[in-house]
């Protein structure tokens, strides 16, 4: 009986996590962004520019993960290393030619190897250089 309850509990946790991802939530227990701004433009173009800029600046590939959700018109970019998420940036369409970008740093154990201080300045740079 105990094994059955453990299996049911694990299945329930997995279902909740999957539902959170499919609905476009950044994480099941997400925190509100520490910094958020609105911009004019296309969310995909902004996300493309930001992703290229931070990957180039990092100099190390595979730190930044990108999750696209076309159905919710959102892109999540996260700094992850050794199963630790250091920060995440959500770029979303909020209306015609309107985009919001919010960065959320996460408290991690040990030193902050990948700080989020340069993320919003990078978003602003990309937003100001968007065509149109």
> How many Cβ atoms from other residues are within 10 Å of residue 53's Cβ?
18
Sheet containing 74-81: which strands, arranged edge to edge?
35-40, 98-105, 84-95, 74-81, 64-69
CATH number at residue 85: 3.30.310.80
- Would the pLDDT of 73 be above 60? yes
What is the Rg, in whole angstroms, of the alpha carbon atoms belonging to the chain?
Answer: 17
Strand intervals (E) in the chain: 35-40, 64-69, 74-81, 84-95, 98-105
Residue 73 contacts residue 43 (beta carbons within 8 Å): yes
- Same domain assignment for residues 24 and 47: no
What pLDDT sits at residue 83?
80
Which among 130, 111, 127 has a CA at the least distance from the CA of 37? 127
User: Each residue of 35-68: pLDDT tens digit?
Assistant: 788 999 999 999 999 999 988 876 666 788 999 9
- The domain of 45 spans 31-128
Give the whole-angstrom CA distance, residue 17 versus residue 27. 8
> Does residue 73 share a domain with residue 92?
yes
Judge if 36 and 52 occupy the same domain. yes
Q: Are residues 99 and 78 in the same domain?
A: yes
Are both 22 and 49 inside the same structural domain? no
* pLDDT tens digit sequence for 78-114: 988 888 888 999 999 999 999 999 999 886 566 666 7
2 versus 13: which is more confidently predicted?
Answer: 2
The total number of structural domains that make up the chain:
2
* Residue 120 confidence (pLDDT): 92
Which of 55, 65, 58 is closest to 85 using CA atoms? 65
Pair 68, 124 in one domain: yes
pLDDT at res. 16: 53
Return the pLDDT at 26. 40
- What pLDDT was estimated at residue 7? 52
Query: Are residues 42 and 62 located together in one domain of the fold?
Result: yes
Q: Are residues 11 and 52 in the same domain?
A: no
Q: Are residues 49 and 96 in the same domain?
A: yes
Whether 59 and 84 map to the same domain: the answer is: yes
Confidence of residue 1 (pLDDT cuts 50, 70, 90): low
- Phi and psi based region of residue 34 (left: phi greater than 0; alpha: psi -120 to 50; beta: remaining): alpha
Based on the fold, state whether residues 87 and 122 are members of the same structural domain.
Answer: yes
Please compute the mean of the pLDDT values over residues 5-20 and round it to a whole number. 48
My answer on whether 1 and 17 are in the same domain is yes
The mean pLDDT of 12-37, rounded to a whole number, is 53
């Amino acid at each position: 009986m105990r094994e059955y309850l453990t299996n049911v509990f694990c299945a329930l946790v997995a279902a909740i996590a999957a539902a959170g991802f499919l609905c476009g939530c950044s994480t099941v227990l997400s925190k509100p962004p520490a910094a958020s701004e609105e911009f004019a433009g296309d969310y995909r173009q902004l996300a493309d520019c930001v992703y290229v800029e931070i990957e180039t600046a990092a100099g190390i590939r595979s730190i930044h993960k990108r999750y696209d959700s076309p159905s919710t018109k959102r892109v999540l970019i996260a700094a992850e290393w050794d199963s630790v998420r250091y920060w995440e940036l959500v770029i979303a369409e909020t209306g015609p030619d309107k985009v919001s970008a919010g960065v959320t740093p996460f408290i991690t154990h040990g030193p902050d190897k990948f700080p989020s201080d340069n993320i919003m300045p990078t978003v602003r740079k990309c937003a100001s250089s968007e065509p149109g």
